[in-house]
Amino acid sequence: MRTFFETLKKYLLIYGVFLKNGLMAQMEYRVNFLTSIAMEGGYLCVKLSYAVVVYRSGVTIHGLSPDEILLFIGSFIALTGVYAGLYATSNFRLREKIKDGDLDLLISKPVSTQFMATLRHIDLTLFTLDIVAGLALVAIAWQRLRIPVTAINLVGYAVFFVISSVVAYCVFLLPQILSFWLVNTSAIVEVSDSMWDINSMPMGIYPRWIQQFGVFALPVFFITNFPPLFVLNKMTPAYYAWAALAPILLLCIVRAFWNWGLRNYSSASS
């Protein structure tokens, strides 16, 4: 147990360095930093337009009121910040690292190659802007729905938010690992990236069979639906069980798939 906590502390310290380097890299070129904020602000306005349309129409969609839908949209925007800010940049650069042989440098490090390759590049602009905006919408919807501000609700939402972040890491890293075998994975990357946007609205708008497929088979709906479903008391026993099992199962699958790919990796010096 002591070894586990010492290892965890080491990786947290390393991740802290990643965060610091990410901020320094963005602040090095101030114009690029401001341009990035402006561009993400534009994308954020597009995401917010979903909420505007819902409120202007004033309709109930599959039993969900506009305020409940706002809770889902806010969760989607906040988790988009996690995905785009903490994972996406490293994922998109993985193909180049494998193709150009830059992965050789990471393999030589005395820490997990997967950790270094998939979590090293961080965009704090995307992360901060979307997190703040998303959680602000969640707070507004929370208040309008008169959801009790209790420790159970707050901690439960936070726990499901973290679990969803882990699931997002696994689901969207898996297609990138195919870069170990395929010369060009751009089409796969575009398809997997576009799948993220299907979470912009609650999964309740889709037929039931699509919902079940998107929760249990290809768990993209899991990511942004479970946190709001918890505070709305709409989680089923099957969803609770899957929420406990999915992150562990997916982490094991990703780890096994990564190690398999790494064994097939031909370094630049080969």
Per-residue pLDDT reduced to its tens digit, 28-77: 776 776 777 777 777 777 777 777 777 777 777 778 888 999 999 999 99
Torsion of CA 7, 110, 185, 84, to 10 degrees: 40
Distance in angstroms (rounded) separating the CA atoms of residues 115 and 225: 27
pLDDT, tens only, 206-238: 889 999 999 999 999 999 999 999 999 999 999
Query: Please, which residues bridge with residue 61 across strands?
Result: 64
Share of the chain above pLDDT 90, in %: 46
Distance in angstroms (rounded) separating the CA atoms of residues 199 and 222: 9
Token pair 């997190």 in the structure block, residue: 131
Could you tell me if 82 and 168 are in contact, meaning their C-beta atoms sit under 8 angstroms apart? yes
User: What 3-state class would DSSP assign to 167?
Assistant: helix
The two tokens of residue 173 are 């890293």
Could you tell me if 218 and 192 are in contact, meaning their C-beta atoms sit under 8 angstroms apart? no
Distance in angstroms (rounded) separating the CA atoms of residues 53 and 6: 50
Tell which residue, 144, 148, 121, 164, has the closest CA to residue 22.
Answer: 121
pTM: predicted TM-score of the whole model, two decimal places: 0.91
Distance in angstroms (rounded) separating the CA atoms of residues 35 and 77: 20
